[in-house]
Amino acid sequence: MIKAKEQSQLIVNQTKLNSRHSDLLANQTELNNEYLQPQLILNYNHVNHEKTFYKSTQLEPQPVKIKDSNLTIDEKRLLYISRLKAAKLFEEMGNYPWNLQSNSAYDRCDEPCISVIITLYNYSEYISECLESVAQTDLANIPGGIEVLVIDDCSTDNSANLVAEYLQQSQLPICLVSKWFNTGLADARNVGLRLSRSPYVFILDADNWIYPNCLPVLYETIKYSRHAAVYGEIQKFDNQTRQEINRISCYDWDVHKLVKQPYIDAMALFDKNILLKLGGYSTELIEYGWFGWDDYDLWLKIAQSNYSCKLVPTVLSHYRVHSESMIHTTNKYALNIAKYFCHKFNKLAKKYHSSDMWFGFPKSEIYLELNLSPQQNQTNFILQELQYAYAQIAAMESSKFWKMRNQWLKVKKILGLAK
């Protein structure tokens, strides 16, 4: 068993880390208020959503931005965690941290059958093709039609402007959701789930596209079933050559196969109420690694809650493979995420304890040593978390935000403004 002293030290350091996250957020807000003097302009864009009205608030000028190119990957992770806390804080204060812009077709579409949630971040090169593919959807057998929610996660290119121009000219019901904080894929999708007005949601990334029969085929499969989700085969293609590579999401729902490794992509049609019941997409994964595991985590949550899913064995969409894909960074943290999944999805791991692989890795790698028992692994996991807490604190103290905070406190002291 792990020593009580080490457990106590872990709690102390985690508390210290949370406190410093709060200091970063408070300091950034103070800097904005003192130097940028932003004006809070309230625009009441009401969106009827299950008897809830959303208030859109626009902050001008934009908050301080730091170029991610100057930061290490761990500093970027810390900033994502801080921005998630900032967004949550705004909501707790009664202000939703996004702006809404919709077209007349969206305003007239009161009860759509399917919400297509498109997450967007710096994909100006691909977003038009994605939207156009959705616009070509065969709506004959979809009662109530569809709506499109484009969730822009603070793009720094022309992506959001292209969507704004497209929706004004389109007969497709579209709402552009411009988030205030760049909080990552999982949180962006959760915003889409909250704003969705449909019983079903289809998840789509802005660099991919679907066939006209994609949504009607999936809807026909799920509408009279109790499945949490239905998915079709996906054709991967090379962005440069446009040549087909291979297919993914092409195997039937199999929980044992899912526990061994991920094999189903995000592009699927979900029962929205089930997703909300499961808590939506998990945002805590950034604390254990990088983005890219959100989809796998969701499928595992569905499996652990004993819901079923179904494959439609035909190609319904295309997946673009290009250098900007986040999977290149995701793989760096794969083992750490797998270890976390062993605890989060302990019920599944126990059920398939005889499996040679768990969550994409041989069990020998997850247990660190071939002869390491699960009890010993639990002790090692806690010790690793303790070391990780130390590393986070060290990274935060060396970050630009932390240095900026210290400089600002010195200035306040000199000017006699310190409280």
Which pLDDT band, with edges at 50, 70 and 90, does 60 fall under?
very low
Q: pLDDT at residue 97 above 60?
A: yes
Ranking 40-44, 75-79, 138-142, 220-224 by mean pLDDT, the lowest is 40-44
Rounded to 5 degrees, φ, ψ at 171 are: -90, -5
Q: What is the pLDDT of residues 311-339, one digit of tens each?
A: 999 999 999 998 765 555 566 788 899 99
The beta-strand segments (E) located in 273-352 are: 309-321
Q: pLDDT at residue 274 above 60?
A: yes
CB distance 96 to 194 below 8 Å: no
Size of the chain, expressed as the number of residues it contains: 419
Which pLDDT band, with edges at 50, 70 and 90, does 53 fall under?
very low
Number of separate helices (H) and strands (E) present in the chain:
16, 14
In this predicted structure, what is the pLDDT of residue 292?
A: 86
Kindly report the average pLDDT of the chain as a whole number: 82
Q: What is the pLDDT of residues 163-172, one digit of tens each?
A: 999 999 999 9
- In degrees to the nearest 10, what's the CA dihedral of 290, 86, 193, 76? -20
According to CATH, the topology of domain 39-351 is: Spore Coat Polysaccharide Biosynthesis Protein SpsA; Chain A (3.90.550)
Range of 38-42, 72-76, 146-150, 289-293 with top mean pLDDT: 146-150
Which pLDDT band, with edges at 50, 70 and 90, does 409 fall under?
low
Structure tokens at 135: 């616009």
Predicted structure pTM score: 0.75
| Contacts with 15 (C-beta within 8 Å, 6 or more apart), sequence order | none
Structural domain boundaries in the chain? 4-37+367-414, 39-351
Task: Annotate 198-242 with three-state secondary structure.
Answer: CCEEEEEECCCEECCCHHHHHHHHHCCCCCCEEEEEEEEEECCCC
Find the mean pLDDT for residues 330-357.
90
User: For the packed helices 159-169 and 127-135, what is the interaxial angle rounded to 10 degrees?
Assistant: 30
Query: What's the CA gap between 47 and 100, in Å, rounded?
Result: 9
In this predicted structure, what is the pLDDT of residue 71?
A: 79
